[in-house]
Amino acid sequence: MDTTKQVPGLLAASIGRKIVMGITGLFLCTFLIAHLSGNLLLLKPLFDPNDGGKAFNEYAEFMSKSPLVRIPEILMFIGFIVHIGLAAKLTSQNRNARPQGYVFQANDGKTSIFSKYMGVTGSIVLIFLLIHLYSFFIKHRIIGTEETMYDTVKIAFSNPIYVIFYVVAQILLALHLNHGFQSGFQSLGLKKNPKWNALINKTGLWFSILIPLGFAIIPIIMYIQSIA
């Protein structure tokens, strides 16, 4: 066998790119858990009338000031950039791999539907992320404002259009994760055992429902509070 072939860099081979796609995708899933846990503090005033957004503001303050948070934050930005960059590369390669399609389009009815729309669901999540970053992160961390983070959120979520947009984006995130979560494990070569595969699939299904639901419920509740 030809042993002169050098080990290509991870990103030089298709499988390597898929592996990095899986790593970044699953890493972003851990970011979603951390982000959601923080966001849930927005609901604390519901249970503790004296809170008035204090818990959330303290959390936001900690996130923006603590040097410990910088490292995961930078990793997250890198994670997003790599994930999106590879998504574009893989999707364009995939298009080129079949220049001429079939006249008769059929569906075998057994395959994962959302896997076919990862580029679409991902792109809409990206648009959401950019607007989302602009309304909260850029406003506070880059431009700077006198408002507390809780007030900014409260104002944003009293706007029904923003709330609808936020909820729709969460639905698309759910579809992205519905395929993505278990797909990430497969890309990493971790779905080799039927018992574990079933567990990964089930966890992925619940993850894709519960996390976006958790995110979506916050603006809905805050909007209802704002009109009440």
Partner 1 sequence: MRTMKLTLHIWRQENRNAQGRMETYLLDGVNEHMSFLEMLDVLNEKLIKEGKDPVAFDHDCREGICGSCGMVINGRAHGPWYRTTTCQLHMREFKDGDEIYIEPFRAAAFPVIKDLVVDRSAFDRIIQAGGYISVNTGGVPDANTIRIGKETAEQAFAAATCIGCGACVATCKNASAMLFVSAKIAHLGLLPQGQPERMQRVLNMIAQMDKEGFGNCTNTGACEVECPKGISLVNIARMNSDFLMAQLK
The interface region with partner 1, picked from 41-49, 77-85, 100-108, 138-146 by CB under 8 A, is 100-108
**Binds ligand HEM (CB under 6 A): choice among 29, 36, 167, 213:** 29
Closest by CA to 40, choosing from 223, 222, 226, 170, is 222
Residue 183 touches ligand HEM, criterion: CB under 6 A: yes
Residue 204 touches ligand HEM, criterion: CB under 6 A: no
Contact positions with ligand HEM (CB under 6 A) in 49-68: none
Closest by CA to 152, choosing from 127, 132, 125, 122, is 132
Residue 65 touches partner 1, criterion: CB under 8 A: no
∠59-208-224 over CA atoms, to 5°?
Answer: 55
Closest by CA to 73, choosing from 38, 49, 122, is 38
Residue 186 touches partner 1, criterion: CB under 8 A: yes
Q: Quick one: 122 or 219, whose CB is closer to ligand HEM? A: 122
Residue 116 touches partner 1, criterion: CB under 8 A: yes
Q: Is 196 helix (H, G, I), strand (E, B) or coil?
A: helix
Residues 6+ apart with CB under 8 A from 42: 53, 56, 150, 153, 218, 222
**Binding residues for ligand HEM (CB under 6 A):** 18, 21-22, 25-26, 28-29, 32, 83-84, 87, 90-91, 118-119, 122-123, 125-126, 176, 180-181, 183-184, 187
